[in-house]
Amino acid sequence: MSSTDYNYDEQGQFFPFFILTLTSLVTLPLTYTLLKPSKDLENTAPRIKSDFRPQHGDIIQKQKQKLLRKERRLKRIFTVIGGYVVMAWMVYLIIVTARSTPKIWDPYEILGISR
């Protein structure tokens, strides 16, 4: 006979597995983009066509691009570090959490009858 007792993870033993999966889905691709060599960021957004060029415009443009790259990289670094911290914490919870096994309903045991 099948049991009609449904277990909805009341003890929360599968919660760390869920969070570990979600964080790894975000952290691992971010780590890849952080470690791969960077491409030219100038091609990512369309530019307005204009003939105006300020004096020392090339230096100004390089400084802007350098600052934007640095800001993006810092955000990614902090996100990746935070992701790995959460992943390590979830692995710790998975190791430490005691597993609960549902008790199988036995009518002989309830009635006190030996088999």
Q: What is the pTM of this model?
A: 0.59
Q: What is the residue-averaged pLDDT of the chain?
A: 81
Q: Confirm whether 78 is domain-assigned.
A: yes
Q: Confirm whether 28 is domain-assigned.
A: yes
Q: Confirm whether 111 is domain-assigned.
A: no
Q: Confirm whether 48 is domain-assigned.
A: no
Q: Confirm whether 5 is domain-assigned.
A: no
* Domain assignment of residue 82, given as a range: 12-38+55-99
Which pLDDT value is given to residue 21? 96
Q: Is the pLDDT of residue 99 over 70?
A: yes
Is residue 78 within 8 A of residue 26, CB to CB? The reply is no
Q: Domain count of the chain?
A: 1
Q: Confirm whether 106 is domain-assigned.
A: no
